Amino acid sequence: MSSVDPSFNFDEDYEEAVTPQEVLQKMTTAWQNELCSPCLLPTQMELVDILLDQIAGMEEDIGKQVDQRQLRISVHRMELQRISFITSDYVRCRLRKIESNPNDAIETHNKRRDENKSDLLSEAELQFAREYAAAEAELFDKTVLEFMPPGPLKKVAFPLLDCQEDMVYAKVLGEEAGNVAVPDWKDLTGELVLEMEKSSCHLIPFDSVKEYLEEGTVQLL
């Protein structure tokens, strides 16, 4: 019944085609990680876009079917609702994090660009962050700052997000979660190094597993 092509390229850099199942699997992982992490993770908006296309295609196919009471129609509709939920929830979570500190999001995004790492925000998210920050600044100006005397008060550009002490539950997926550095609370100038075995779960500072998270060796719980 489905006329959707199961193989397509979602990124010009990749040579093999990626199946919709794999995209959905990656989206589920990204969603789980984003919900459990204390700060914004690099964007996976391409997955959302691909899935939205898939949903649109499938809805068109369903609409064309003659008998709308069949079991298979209900099953297809339910699957589309499930996929819509996961994509919406992912975007909702990211927007909530951007809104809590839009300037930090923009700053970190630019820093990552300078260091040649993958983007933190998608184009649309960056636009949203800028507009939200501007709107918030205008609100504070008009309601409070305009009425404050120019005085000796120093202005802080924007509050920095301090994720240094945030902890997460993490599970090791891959084999090589080799030497993980964890701050040594007995002597804060030093670090302890841990070995994390496959399938082990840890309660650990977020900073220690951030890189492994981006690689995909670790999953947040």
Partner 1 sequence: MNAERCEYLAGNVLIEVIPSISDEKPIHLISGDIGPFEAGVPCRVPMWTAILMKRKHNCKVVVPKWMEVDELKKLLASETENDGLAELPEHFFEISHMLVRNATDDIFEVEAVKSLIQDIYDRRDAKLRTSAIAFLSQNQTCHAQLDCVQLLETSSARATLNACKQVGTLVRNLHETTPM
Instruction: Name the minimum Å distance from CB 99 to partner 1.
Output: 19
Report long-range pairs for 1-8 (Cβ below 8 Å, ≥24 apart): 1/61, 1/65, 1/72, 2/58, 2/61, 3/57, 3/61, 4/54, 4/57, 4/58, 4/61
| Stretch binding partner 1 (CB under 8 A), from 53-61, 94-102, 110-118, 139-147 | 53-61
- Residue 89 structure tokens: 């929830």
Q: Taking a C-beta distance cutoff of 8 angstroms, is the pair 167, 204 a contact?
A: yes
Instruction: Name the minimum Å distance from CB 53 to partner 1.
Output: 11
> Closer to partner 1 at the Cβ: 127 or 200?
200
106: left (phi over 0), alpha (psi -120 to 50) or beta: alpha
What one-letter code names the amino acid at 15? Answer: E
Using rule CB under 8 A, residue 47 touches partner 1? no
User: How many chain residues touch partner 1 (CB under 8 A)?
Assistant: 47
Burial 194-209 (b: 16+ CB within 10 A, else e): bebeeeeebebbbbbb
| Stretch binding partner 1 (CB under 8 A), from 52-60, 116-124, 137-145, 153-161 | 52-60
Using rule CB under 8 A, residue 192 touches partner 1? yes
> Closer to partner 1 at the Cβ: 83 or 213?
83
Using rule CB under 8 A, residue 27 touches partner 1? no
Count of CB atoms within 10 A of residue 8's CB? Answer: 14
> Closer to partner 1 at the Cβ: 148 or 203?
203
Which residues bind to partner 1, rule: CB under 8 A? 1-2, 4, 20-21, 24, 28, 32, 35-36, 51, 54-55, 58, 71-72, 74-76, 78-79, 82-83, 85-86, 89, 164-169, 182-183, 185-186, 188, 192, 194, 199-205, 221
